Structure 1
Amino acid sequence: MKVTIRKWQTVSSWHWDVSEECCGICRMQFDACCVDCKMPGDDCPPVWGACKHAFHMHCILKWLNSNQQQCPMCRSNWEFVTTD
């Protein structure tokens, strides 16, 4: 028996590899975008702190610029962690 494929249609989806469901500041899912963005994706990635909490990049930057230097979830001093 010989099978011939006439048409191939691919479907894909993406999601951030984050253990938490949503940003602790704006409460939006990480696969969505923060309230300051119009479209999800690379412009609004999740970022992690040394305390292992994750937030949208724009949300934590806004939090830190409001003279808060602590994690909004656990109040430990905020330090960005790079992910590889």
Structure 2
Amino acid sequence: MKVKIKKWTTVATWKWLANDDNCGICRMPFESCCPDCRLPGDGCPLVWGKCSHCFHMHCIVKWIQSQQAQQQCPMCRQTWNFKE
């Protein structure tokens, strides 16, 4: 018995490779997006600090801007520097 395939439909999923499942600031899953964005992906990427903590880009930028004098990681309180 042979089967002939007339149509093939594929589905793909993606996942950020982060050390945690949720953003430490907004608590939204990394597969989702930050509260400011409508769709996950390139518009709302993840960023890592030199301390290895990961956040939505928009979340950490807001956090840093709100911490005028001390720009620290919200998780470990080390000085925040973006990982190159």
Q: What TM-score do you get using the length of structure 2 for normalisation?
A: 0.89
Alpha-carbon separation, structure 2, partners of 1:9 and 1:41: 22
Q: Which letter maps to 1:19?
A: N
1:5-84, aligned counterparts within 5 Å?
5-66=5-66, 67=68, 68-82=70-84
Residue pair 2:36, 2:58 contacting (<8 A) in 1 also: yes
Alpha-carbon separation, structure 2, partners of 1:77 and 1:62: 15
* Alignment root-mean-square deviation, CA: 1.2
Alpha-carbon separation, structure 1, partners of 2:36 and 2:4: 48
Identity between Structure 1 and Structure 2 (%): 61
- 4+ runs of 1 displaced by more than 6 Å? none
| Cα drift, residue 2 of structure 1 | 4.4
**Comparing 71-80 and 35-44, the one that deviates more:** 35-44
Alpha-carbon separation, structure 2, partners of 1:3 and 1:81: 52
Structure 2: unaligned runs, 5 residues or longer: none
Alpha-carbon separation, structure 1, partners of 2:7 and 2:37: 37
| Cα drift, residue 18 of structure 1 | 1.0
Q: Which letter maps to 1:16?
A: W
